[in-house]
């Protein structure tokens, strides 16, 4: 088994399906202290609430110790090279959870350490979020087949991981974004190839009202991701027709549910109040980050 977890595509379809059952067992408290006497370093180049807290709590539940390093502490690539940091950490810790700007930084970590490396968000993917999201959906609908999942907004790290995991679990995945903000072609083509075997649909529809027709779930993420603050003005204008609001929600299935990985910018990608409304799964998603990441650690360290 791959000792690292950098991408949804690190696991095959069967492994992803089995992982949902493991997450359930972990949620029910059926786990061993697989991290007892182990130290896990959390290397965070960017801010975090959910990812950091859920990893720290999960690691402690499994008996491990955490060492949180933010960018001011270690200056990845500035104070010293990523390679040197990786080689040093390798001498002390048993695992690395890293949130980075460049996905290549994660690859560098895997090439210069012997311990498991987990992607806690990069420019390309946010696979830990996607694991929790699919577990959330499965808990809600008890199925994936024939479920219409619609992502509206930026074709970013979140959208990329969601397209891959949807293809592996057999959900119909539609996403709607302006042309210039599509999911990277290599990733979406891979998702389409996988979906052709799982017999699910993968589509991009530029117009959000057309995209959400028949949606069982509508998902969105911030328009201005961390590190893109200098593009804020142009992004707010480019995405202005892509807000999840009452009007857009009214075009979907009557029982549609709303998902958001948070942090949310209310008034931008999502209308004020929707996150805290009855049709939102946002806090279930946040809770399930803990269960699915504890399951991930259990799997990689067992
Ligand atoms: N796309 C967002 C996700 C935050 C959890 C970002 O990269 O900032």
Residue with tokens 């995209």: 211
Residue 226 Cβ < 6 Å to ligand 1? yes
Under 8 Å between Cβ of 38 and 94: yes
Please give the order of strands across the beta sheet that includes 39-44.
Answer: 65-70, 39-44, 95-99, 117-119
pLDDT in tens, 206-219: 999 999 999 999 99
Helix-strand-coil split of the chain, %, nearest 5 = 45, 15, 40
C-alpha of residue 222 to centroid of ligand 1, in Å: 7
Residue with tokens 């299935």: 253
CA–chain centroid gap for 65, Å, is 24
The pLDDT assigned to 198 comes to 84
Give the bridge partners for 19, in sequence order.
none
Q: Give mean pLDDT, residues 187-204.
A: 96
Residue 176 Cβ < 6 Å to ligand 1? no
By three-state DSSP, how is residue 264 classified?
A: coil
Residue 158 Cβ < 6 Å to ligand 1? yes
DSSP letter (8 states) at residue 80: B
pLDDT in tens, 238-286: 999 999 999 999 999 999 999 999 999 999 999 999 999 999 999 999 9
C-alpha of residue 229 to centroid of ligand 1, in Å: 12
DSSP letter (8 states) at residue 256: -
Say if residue 225's pLDDT is above 80. Answer: yes
Under 8 Å between Cβ of 129 and 158: yes
pLDDT in tens, 1-21: 789 999 999 999 999 999 999
pLDDT in tens, 86-120: 999 999 999 999 999 999 999 999 999 999 999 99
pLDDT in tens, 167-190: 999 999 999 999 999 999 999 999
Under 8 Å between Cβ of 239 and 180: no
- Of 157, 230, 275, best ligand 1 pocket probe by most atoms within 8 Å of the beta carbon: 157
C-alpha of residue 158 to centroid of ligand 1, in Å: 7
Q: Closest ligand 1 atom to the C-alpha of 46?
A: 8
Cα dihedral sign for 237, 239, 242, 246?
A: negative
Q: Closest ligand 1 atom to the C-alpha of 157?
A: 1
Residue 211 in tokens: 């995209």
Residue 69 Cβ < 6 Å to ligand 1? no
Residue 45 Cβ < 6 Å to ligand 1? no
Separation CA 68–CA 65 (nearest Å): 10
Residue 222 Cβ < 6 Å to ligand 1? yes
Residue 48 Cβ < 6 Å to ligand 1? no
Separation CA 83–CA 85 (nearest Å): 5
The pLDDT assigned to 59 comes to 98
Q: Closest ligand 1 atom to the C-alpha of 123?
A: 7
Under 8 Å between Cβ of 194 and 13: yes
Residue with tokens 């389409």: 192
Residue 269 Cβ < 6 Å to ligand 1? no
- In order of 61, 94, 233, the CA distances from 157 in angstroms are 28, 27, 20
pLDDT in tens, 129-182: 999 999 999 999 999 999 999 999 999 999 999 999 999 999 999 999 999 999
Q: Compute the mean pLDDT over every residue in the chain, rounded to the nearest whole number.
A: 98
- Prior bond to 263 cis, omega within 30? yes
Q: Residue 246, exposed/middle/buried by CB under 10 A (0-12, 13-18, 19+)?
A: exposed
Percent of the chain with pLDDT over 90: 99
Q: Closest ligand 1 atom to the C-alpha of 158?
A: 1
Q: Closest ligand 1 atom to the C-alpha of 48?
A: 5
The pLDDT assigned to 41 comes to 98
Percent of the chain with pLDDT over 70: 100
By three-state DSSP, how is residue 112 classified?
A: coil
């Amino acid at each position: 088994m791959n000792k690292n977890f950098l991408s949804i595509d690190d696991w095959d379809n069967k492994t992803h399906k089995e992982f949902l059952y493991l997450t359930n067992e972990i949620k029910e408290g059926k786990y061993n202290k697989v991290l007892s006497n182990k130290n896990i370093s959390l290397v965070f180049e960017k801010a975090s609430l959910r990812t950091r807290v859920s990893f720290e709590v999960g690691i402690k539940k499994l008996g491990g110790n955490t060492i949180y390093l933010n960018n001011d502490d270690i200056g990845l690539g500035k104070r010293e090279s990523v390679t040197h940091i990786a080689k040093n950490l390798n001498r002390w810790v048993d695992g690395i959870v890293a949130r980075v700007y460049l996905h290549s930084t994660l690859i560098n970590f895997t090439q210069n350490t012997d311990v498991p490396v987990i992607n806690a968000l990069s420019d390309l993917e946010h696979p830990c979020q996607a694991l929790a999201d699919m577990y959330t959906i499965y808990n809600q609908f008890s199925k994936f087949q024939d479920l219409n999942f619609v992502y509206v907004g930026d074709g970013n790290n979140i959208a990329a991981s969601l397209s891959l995991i949807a293809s592996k679990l057999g959900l119909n995945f539609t996403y709607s974004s302006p042309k210039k903000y599509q999911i990277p072609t290599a990733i979406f083509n891979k998702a389409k190839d996988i979906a052709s075997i799982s017999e699910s649909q993968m589509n991009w529809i530029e117009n959000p009202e057309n995209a959400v027709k028949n949606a069982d779930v509508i998902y969105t993420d911030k328009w201005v991701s961390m590190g893109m603050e200098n593009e804020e003005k142009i992004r707010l204008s480019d995405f202005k027709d892509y807000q999840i609001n009452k009007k857009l929600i009214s075009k979907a299935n009557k029982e549609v549910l709303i998902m958001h990985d948070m942090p949310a910018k209310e008034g931008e990608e999502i209308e004020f109040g929707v996150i805290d409304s009855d049709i939102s799964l946002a806090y279930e998603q946040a809770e399930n980050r803990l269960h699915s990441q504890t399951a991930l650690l259990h799997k990689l360290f067992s």
